[in-house]
Amino acid sequence: MKIDRLKDSGYPAGRLMIIGLDCAEPSLVFDRFRHLLPNLEKLSGSGYCGPLRSTDPPLTIPAWTSMFSGQDPGRLGLYGIRNRTGYNYSDLMISASGTVHVPRIWDYVSRRNEPSILVGIPQTYPIRPVNGCVVAGMLAPGTHSRFTHPPALKLEIESVAGGYEIDIPNFRQVSPEELAERIWTMTRKRFRVFRHLIKTREWRLAICVEIGLDRLHHAFWHYWDTNHPLHFPGNRFQSFMPDYYSLLDREIAGVLQSTPEDTAVFVVSDHGAQPMMGGVRINQWLMNRGYLTLRLQPPPESDLQMDWIDWDRTLAWGEGGYYGRVFLNVKEREPRGIIPRSDAERICSELAREFENMTGPDGNLLKNRVIIPRLHYRQIRGYPPDLMVYFGNLAWRSLGEIGVPDIFTRQNNRGPDGANHAQYGVLISNLPLKPENDSGGFQITDLMSVFCEILNIRLPNDAFPEPAGNGNGQD
């Protein structure tokens, strides 16, 4: 990586600030809403701005952890917010900070006894102490929990913010009136806390991730996007999305006013967003095609329960979420597996082909993208799905529910939802970054080495180990 200005200006004397806007979408930031974002434009004036390719899958977890560690989801063993913990039939488990087994950028800074300020970063709860201060991000259970380091910081930030909010739990169940108010307030409080910390603490690294934009996209995209199938003209939230982007720009300007001159600043997102066209009932589809068999008649519109499945006649089952995960029922791997190991690869390929040939409600090809983790990642840790399916390249969500004859629905079964994730996020910096590969731009895992260069951190030689063989171990 070559960062000319760093060398010219005598770095590494400086500091690094990273402002994360979860879900910031490049087509809005660089085009549709560009006129609303003068401060972001100024920041990148003689620096860099462009799309940032997210992880596969492009989800909050693992994407932020990939950015801050340089490791891809295969090496992290994290394939979404929820992951398998073994080859059994238990529910997937939420992946909190304890599931991150690699150092992240602030761990290296801490080892040098230099202080960091970390606010709102996913997978920082339960809190692990660092040199500096931490305010945990998404997945922390609420402000009643021990969500700060040091613990006494909690009272200070609650006082500065007038009551702090980590996230908005169950935001899809909150009325749009209430949700709009809460997202706005939460964001203002987060930035107030971040400004307070950068002004009152020593720091070498400061990171703030705001989750509000992700919540906004899911809940309000269709109110703004006149081409969205759920849009209705004249609604009262038509301008909420652009107004909120404008708020973010002003809040960032406030942070930059309090930031020393010698700071390398990055504004980044973990993935983008796109209008959601609807949901695909993945288990209903698997049942219709004979891959999945139940031993009872399920109640209508219910989530598939593992003990309803007739494992002796089931080859595969799926999970809902931003993308479809499919698990094969493999002999001597799953407790009651029926696919001989020697057949697993063939069945996986057949299923991939069937997903790729899936047509949508209008009879046209849905253009699904199928990823086979075993082939996609250089190394696999943990327990990945056997197939990952991006329905309509993520324009459609995966729904785990059964007991409904229709494969397709316009609604997310978790509540109204106007957007799904998209593969590219944003990368803006006051430094004139140059991707190593002229043709491709930056990948999210490229940034760790840029951050390390700025902070003059030499990663150990084994920080990005090359896997032995194809690397399909389950360590």
The footprint of Zn ion (CB under 5 A) covers 22-23, 60, 214, 270
Say if residue 12 is preceded by a cis peptide, omega within 30 of 0. Answer: yes
Q: How many CA atoms lie within 13 A of 353 on its CB side?
A: 5
Strands 148-149 and 396-399: unpaired
Cα–Cα dist 326/329, whole Å: 10
Closer CB to Zn ion, 131 or 420, in the complex? 420
Shortest reach from residue 122's CB to Zn ion, in Å: 8
Closer CB to Zn ion, 22 or 417, in the complex? 22
Shortest reach from residue 418's CB to Zn ion, in Å: 16
Closer CB to Zn ion, 60 or 409, in the complex? 60
Residues in the chain: 475
Closer CB to Zn ion, 60 or 71, in the complex? 60
Edge to edge, what strands does the sheet with 324-328 contain? 316-319, 324-328, 387-390, 369-371
What SS3 class is residue 273? strand
Instruction: Strands of 54-126 (E only): list them.
Output: 82-83, 93-94, 116-121
Shortest reach from residue 395's CB to Zn ion, in Å: 17
Which residue in the shown chain puts its C-beta closest to Zn ion? Answer: 60
Count of Cβ atoms closer than 10 Å to residue 187 Cβ: 22
Strands 82-83 and 278-281: unpaired
Shortest reach from residue 10's CB to Zn ion, in Å: 35
Closer CB to Zn ion, 24 or 328, in the complex? 24
CA 310 distance to own-chain centroid: 34
Of the candidates 242, 138, 219, the one whose C-alpha atom is nearest the C-alpha of residue 420 is: 219
Shortest reach from residue 88's CB to Zn ion, in Å: 29
CB-CB contact of 207 with 133 (8 Å): no
Closer CB to Zn ion, 216 or 389, in the complex? 216
Shortest reach from residue 473's CB to Zn ion, in Å: 28
